Structure 1
Amino acid sequence: MTQSGDGAVLDGATPQAGYVESAGAEGRTILIADDDRSIRTVLTQALGRAGYEVRTTGHAATLWTWVADGAGDLVITDVVMPDENGLDLIPRIKKIRPDLRIIVMSAQNTLLTAVKATERGAFEYLPKPFDLTELVNVVRRALSMPHGPAAPSVAGLAEDEDALPLIGRSSAMQEIYRTLARLMTTDLTVMITGESGTGKELVARALHDYGKRRAGPFVAVNMAAIPRDLIESELFGHEKGAFTGATTRGVGRFEQADGGTLFLDEIGDMPPEAQTRLLRVLQENEYTTVGGRLAVRANVRIVAATHRDLTQHIRQGLFREDLYYRLNVVPIRLPPLRERAGDIPELARHFLAQVTEEGLPRKSLDGAAMDRLKRHRWPGNVRELENLVRRLAALYSQETIGLDVIEAELATAPSALASGGGTPGEGLSALVERHLREHFAAHPDGLPAAGLHDRVLREVERPLIGLSLEATRGNQIRAAQLLGLNRNTLRKKIRELDIQVVRGVR
């Protein structure tokens, strides 16, 4: 056990000139700055075994002195240190030694940290806790790669962590953050895959908002929401008289997104004719409007997304293989929420804060309720969690939500209803089935009276609408939004079900 010049206890190291070195065959020196002594110890041992010399410090000022004196072939720095933020040190280092590679470590595992590290000139960003083998491999790669021009800087990044489009500190999300950070200064085409509700559009927006095209427009178009015979006109625009009803020139999404990002959601639903035209855009970087003759230069970054298995679509002849490879230059797979259950508490708190800003009552979840959320399967993913949080804020009067409320809500979730339960509590579907069995059993000599379907719907709708109105203090506009109904439809049902609306009462 030996001690570095700034008090770090390091195993198997020899102190020399105020720092610790681990002699190695390569003779390359790694400078490490981290205020956690155990981190410095572990890194010294791992890099020493790999053949590198190592200097460690717990202060940014010492690191700066070493760099300014010309020491070191590579820097590994933490973000939070007692005297200076490691990210703020990077531009100063790059100014005097632009070829010095810098690896950033951080326990502040957010998208903003990864993006800032890359934007300021870091070679790589590694979230804590990190894999030692991966870190050593990154060091080797950094020292072996030829030095090229610095990546272009993208100024004006948002500083508000709470405003980040992506939430989560799981290892799966960390890999996505690192990928997004690497793509920030490129125009590479990206394919985002994942189940419905995982946040594919949020990732596309992050690519745009933190990329070099952020000053341009972000235009999203859902292939599944456009009639198949109108998709080409919607994307590429049309000339006057190009088809029946084209009385004026139509501006397409490519033109609207000029200079920015075009997000093609549910790309697997694009018809074959439009696929062919899109392939030409990706190959030639130009397109023609429907009915047009002159080629138009395409100045957009394309990000596509789908929840479908496009390889299966290719085998079935529904999707062009050549288009798939043009779109899938950089694949990003979003994990379902069940694969990153550790992110659920942070996501839930984020959504609770969000609905409070929108005017709903402030709520929190106790420990048991939060643990129950982490055990749920979440077939609707992040979108399902967000909707649940909104219901909790709107429908319940207690400030702290407990396990009983969560059990009741999850029991009536679509996944629970489809399975007749699926949670420790009895699902609504199972309750209805049991009630109907009792109803039929009460008529041993024949079937119940006609009109049973309408009677059951009425029994479910009346308390649902009544409780929604109670939760929104009789505000029919908010109640309609909560229920997902048109306001006029809600008014009609209130009359039909003879529901008394009392304003201002919860």
Structure 2
Amino acid sequence: MPSTIVLVADQQELHAPLTRRLEDQSHSVFVVKDIPEALLYLRDPACTASVVVFHMVLRRQQDAFTLTEICSFRPYLQVILLADKARGTVFDGQTPHANIRILHRSIGPQELLHVVQDAVGAADAQMGSKEEDSEVDLDAEADENGPTVFTTPFLMRVGMADVPVLLHGETGVGKEVMARRLCAYSPRANKPFLKLNCAALPSELVESELFGYEKGAFTGAAVDKPGKFEIAQGGTILLDEIGDMDIRLQAKLLQVLQDGEVQPLGSRKTVKLNVRVLAATHRDLRRAIEVGTFREDLYYRLNVVNIIIPPLRERRDEIIPLAEKLLKRHMRPGMVEPVLSEPFKELMLQYDWPGNVRELENLMRRLLVYQSEKMIFGDLERAIEHSRTKARPVLPVAVETAEPVAAAAPQVAPAIASITDLAEVARQAEAKLLLEALEHTHWNRRQAAARLNLDYKAFLYKLQKLGLVGKKDKTTVPQTV
């Protein structure tokens, strides 16, 4: 059956013999000169290509991510990468998508022709009837809070819209993965994609990371440093955990988004920006606006499109397919894929997965290490028993914990009569949270930081800021052995 085949090569004469032979077999051949042009064509919903051959090395991680995403929403597309082992590709050491094949670029013309013909046959077999494609729902189901069920056409529309997007969801549901998918479908797919975790760094460092600084702007600023906004020119920036950003910094961020320009710290010049902003949070920002920890004007500036990613426990039909996909992702070349037994699958479906996709991924990686379900069966049973005795919140954890803390310490609540009192209560609550994490991990600070999903240096900074450890004498916190 005739097919459309894309050949990617900066020197088009490399594929001239292959082009002639394919055209002799009635295939349509589309030759492009570089990777960005090829990815732009393949992302187009009107694209009918079934096979693409890259005669150049993919070295940018974003190109590899975009190509994998294209294979995900075009499951019949067959990709052939001609690579030199000495130069390698971004897929080195990883298992690419099942439809991506990596061959040595020294392959002969006749052998390459056979590989392409096999790929055309595989694409035809996977494509099936055109009626199946027409059954794809073009809209996402939505409620008053925003879309919660996504189809590829919906994500493509949002990606191509080039507007700010606010991603909501519990920790581990895949907010960054969703952000990267939107970027892969956007006109900025081949431009920089940068991420900044607003909760992992002190507000002073977040400010310098975002906006940059000039030499001498503060102690330690030995050289000029561009901020992430400036580095991401033409591309996309993800502000992860935006709900944890300092209120003062929120005002400056709002100004940057409104004016479309940034002024580095210590500089008099401004830099015009052309950056798409995506933001993600596990917090209820409307509640945060009510209590005064998040600016309402910034919320409406970011909330052009609001995507709520449901927790894994509300998507139980996805647990097993996700687990099998994650197994394949982390398998080393030559490794035999473990087969999930039916009892183990039933156990996975009974669990609530408080860590969501991240927890599921870690379990699959553990299974690949142990190569035995029996070694983790008991752990999963105990986790299920523990989850049954502990009620899971429906709303984001950070929002739900606000009321129990007040209920557990009623003597503090009446004392909140000013902003100063509120800050003191917040300080005490944060100190209590840090101490509980330290006690739970037997005062192992690295484990405590990981338990709170904090960067280790940020965790130490908070200990020092709250007076739980001195600036120089850090022996007030027991040292780990």
TM-score (norm 2): 0.51
* Cα distance, 1:269 vs structure 2: 1.0
Q: Give the aligned partner of residue 195 of structure 2.
A: 220
Does 2:178 match 1:203?
A: yes
CA–CA distance in structure 2, aligned partners of residues 381 and 409 of structure 1? 16
AA partner of residue 226 (structure 2): V
Secondary structure at the residue paired with 2:180?
Answer: helix
Q: Give the aligned partner of residue 429 of structure 2.
A: none
Tell whether the 8 Å contact from 1:242 to 1:290 is kept in structure 2 after alignment.
yes
* Cα distance, 1:418 vs structure 2: 7.0
Runs (5+) with no aligned partner, structure 2: 1-40, 49-65, 76-95, 99-136, 142-146, 392-440, 443-480
Change (3 A) 1:176 1:405: farther
Deviations 1:166-221 (A, max 9, x none): xxx99887525343111232210000000001000001111112210011111011
Q: Give the aligned partner of residue 228 of structure 2.
A: 253
AA partner of residue 243 (structure 2): G
* Cα distance, 1:223 vs structure 2: 0.4
Does 2:369 match 1:411?
A: no
Q: Give the aligned partner of residue 177 of structure 1.
A: 152
Q: Give the aligned partner of residue 128 of structure 2.
A: none
* Cα distance, 1:119 vs structure 2: 2.9
Tell whether the 8 Å contact from 1:190 to 1:328 is kept in structure 2 after alignment.
yes
* Cα distance, 1:252 vs structure 2: 0.7
Secondary structure at the residue paired with 2:237?
Answer: strand
AA partner of residue 319 (structure 2): I
Change (3 A) 1:340 1:207: same
Change (3 A) 1:212 1:278: same
Q: Give the aligned partner of residue 120 of structure 1.
A: 46
Q: Give the aligned partner of residue 319 of structure 2.
A: 344
- Out of 316, 320, 323, the residue aligned to residue 295 of structure 2 is 320
* Cα distance, 1:371 vs structure 2: 2.2
Does 2:342 match 1:371?
A: no
CA–CA distance in structure 1, aligned partners of residues 42 and 282 of structure 2? 30
CA–CA distance in structure 2, aligned partners of residues 416 and 287 of structure 1? 52
Change (3 A) 1:321 1:280: same
Tell whether the 8 Å contact from 1:268 to 1:310 is kept in structure 2 after alignment.
yes
Deviations 1:302-324 (A, max 9, x none): 00000011111111111100000
Which protein shows a greater Rg? 1
Alignment of 1:26-105 (within 5 A): none
* Cα distance, 1:406 vs structure 2: 5.5
Alignment of 1:122-161 (within 5 A): 158-159=70-71, 161=75
* Cα distance, 1:262 vs structure 2: 0.3
CA–CA distance in structure 1, aligned partners of residues 385 and 271 of structure 2? 51
Tell whether the 8 Å contact from 2:183 to 2:189 is kept in structure 1 after alignment.
yes
Tell whether the 8 Å contact from 2:352 to 2:387 is kept in structure 1 after alignment.
no
Tell whether the 8 Å contact from 1:118 to 1:182 is kept in structure 2 after alignment.
no
Runs (5+) with no aligned partner, structure 1: 1-114, 123-154, 423-456, 459-496, 498-506
Deviations 1:319-378 (A, max 9, x none): 100000000110011011111111111111111112223676531101222122122111
Q: Give the aligned partner of residue 438 of structure 1.
A: none
AA partner of residue 339 (structure 2): S
CA–CA distance in structure 2, aligned partners of residues 220 and 240 of structure 1? 24
Tell whether the 8 Å contact from 1:285 to 1:297 is kept in structure 2 after alignment.
yes
Change (3 A) 1:298 1:183: same
Deviations 1:239-259 (A, max 9, x none): 111112212111211011111
Change (3 A) 1:186 1:345: same
Does 2:204 match 1:229?
A: yes
Tell whether the 8 Å contact from 1:361 to 1:394 is kept in structure 2 after alignment.
no
Q: With CA pairs under 8 Å and 6+ residues apart, which has the higher RCO, 1 or 2? A: 2
How well do the aligned residues superpose, as a CA RMSD in angstroms? Answer: 4.0
Tell whether the 8 Å contact from 1:352 to 1:364 is kept in structure 2 after alignment.
no
Q: Give the aligned partner of residue 103 of structure 1.
A: none
Tell whether the 8 Å contact from 2:213 to 2:267 is kept in structure 1 after alignment.
yes
* Cα distance, 1:409 vs structure 2: 2.5
Deviations 1:7-45 (A, max 9, x none): xxxxxxxxxxxxxxxxxxxxxxxxxxxxxxxxxxxxxxx
Tell whether the 8 Å contact from 1:234 to 1:252 is kept in structure 2 after alignment.
yes
Tell whether the 8 Å contact from 1:118 to 1:181 is kept in structure 2 after alignment.
no
Q: Give the aligned partner of residue 216 of structure 2.
A: 241
Tell whether the 8 Å contact from 1:361 to 1:393 is kept in structure 2 after alignment.
no
Q: Give the aligned partner of residue 74 of structure 1.
A: none
Change (3 A) 1:229 1:119: same
AA partner of residue 158 (structure 1): I
Q: Give the aligned partner of residue 411 of structure 2.
A: none
Aligned-residue sequence identity (percent) comes to 42
Aligned residues between the structures: 279
AA partner of residue 408 (structure 1): G
